[in-house]
Structure 1
Amino acid sequence: MTHQPLPAKLVMGFLAKDAALVEQIRPRLRALYGEEDLVLEPFPFRFTNYYKEEIGSEPVRAFVTYKTLILRESIVDIKLKTNEIELEFAKEFGTEGLRPVNLDPGYMTLGQFFLATTKDQRQRVYIREGIYVEPTLYFQDGHFHAFDWTYRDYQSEEYIRFLEKVRAALRREI
């Protein structure tokens, strides 16, 4: 007898050249994933210069969740679709090969927050079609905590505070 895990909450991270671009993409994602639930409006991204050449020197970060819960394995299809959207916007902005936006889909369970990625590392689990998931945060003693490999920005107080609100919403929903 197989056991299906509880559904998860889709969390979409945006890293974009500006807030206007985030607002331009949100309706497209709503059409795909349904009504938005919780939103962390765009704010300056100050954690690394890694994306400077691609996105610009003053990128913004934002997060959106959706009311419809997802099956965990659907994160592969979601990541593949967000990769397509990134490429479409690169073409639209005439920056093929350089993305003006980086979309980071992940999902929240009551115990952990996972990010989807195309890059293999020791802590990432391969799912299919070139997509891995990485346990990014774990929930213990009433709060999220980072792993050794967790990106610095996901260890920040503002991200943790938002993601704890997401977890509370998920708890009410399931």
Structure 2
Amino acid sequence: MSTPRTPDPGMLVISVLSADWDAFWPEVQAVLTERFGPFQASEPFPFVETDYYDEELGAPITRRLLAFDELRPLDELADVKLWTNGLERRFARDGRRLFNLDPGFLTQQSLVLATGKNFSHRVYLKDGIWADLTLMWQRKHWVDFPWTFPDYAGEAMKTRLTKLRLSYKTMLSKPQT
């Protein structure tokens, strides 16, 4: 019999996609900080693997990857996704989002993203939100799956996530306040 135990907290990461950063970024930074605490944001980098969001968000789309300083319980993932969905709606104009937010948790073992879309490999959490095992850490590198989105399977993202994973390991070794 296995004995249940609380896992280590995860590093909250949020991918932000947009083609019009000037329209929202300073205000959304403040709102995200108020809700989840301080974070480090990457410089924008190209999002070119698909044109899926172009009609709604415009083009060219760039991404920022946010990594939050406070580690959080993994069972908050659905609540975080529901909150970020609300933030997207709050800033929408004429029924169109200005940005797309994809939250997830990075751990030593994996990157799990939250989604409102079911699929065969996803695990239901609650309130219409599923967990998507996007990447797995194995033998000192990220391993993707047949369902991993191409932008997450790319080396640019994996390189950033490897750096965040190192930061996460350092954070785990420090006493949590």
TM range (shorter): over 0.9
- Counting aligned pairs with the same residue, the percent is 34
> TM-score, normalization: structure 1?
0.93
Which structure 2 residues correspond to residues 24-63 of structure 1 after superposition, within 5 A?
24-36=27-39, 38-63=40-65
1:111 lines up with 2:114 in the alignment: no
**Secondary structure, aligned partner of 2:44:** strand
> TM-score, normalization: structure 2?
0.91
Maintained 8 Å contact 1:19/1:42:
no
Runs of at least 4 residues off by over 3 Å: 21-24
**2: distance between equivalents of 1:18 and 1:24?**
13
Give the structure 2 partner of residue 120 of structure 1. 118
**Secondary structure, aligned partner of 1:168:** helix
**Secondary structure, aligned partner of 2:49:** coil
Shift of 1:84: 0.3
Which structure 2 residues correspond to residues 1-150 of structure 1 after superposition, within 5 A?
2-20=4-22, 21-36=24-39, 38-90=40-92, 93=93, 95-96=94-95, 98-150=96-148
Amino acid in the other structure paired with 1:31: E
Shift of 1:148: 0.8
Maintained 8 Å contact 1:34/1:66:
yes
What is the RMSD computed on CA atoms of the aligned residues?
1.2
**2: distance between equivalents of 1:168 and 1:15?**
24
Shift of 1:10: 0.1
Q: For 1:18-58, what per-residue CA distance to the aligned partner results, in whole angstroms no more than 9, with x for missing partners? A: 2323343121101100011x321112211111111100121
Shift of 1:59: 1.2
Q: For 1:77-132, what per-residue CA distance to the aligned partner results, in whole angstroms no more than 9, with x for missing partners? A: 11000000000111xx3x21x21111000101100001000000011100001110
Aligned residues: 169
**Secondary structure, aligned partner of 2:4:** coil
**1: distance between equivalents of 2:20 and 2:150?**
21
What runs of 5+ residues in structure 1 fail to find an aligned partner?
none
Shift of 1:61: 0.7
What runs of 5+ residues in structure 2 fail to find an aligned partner?
173-177
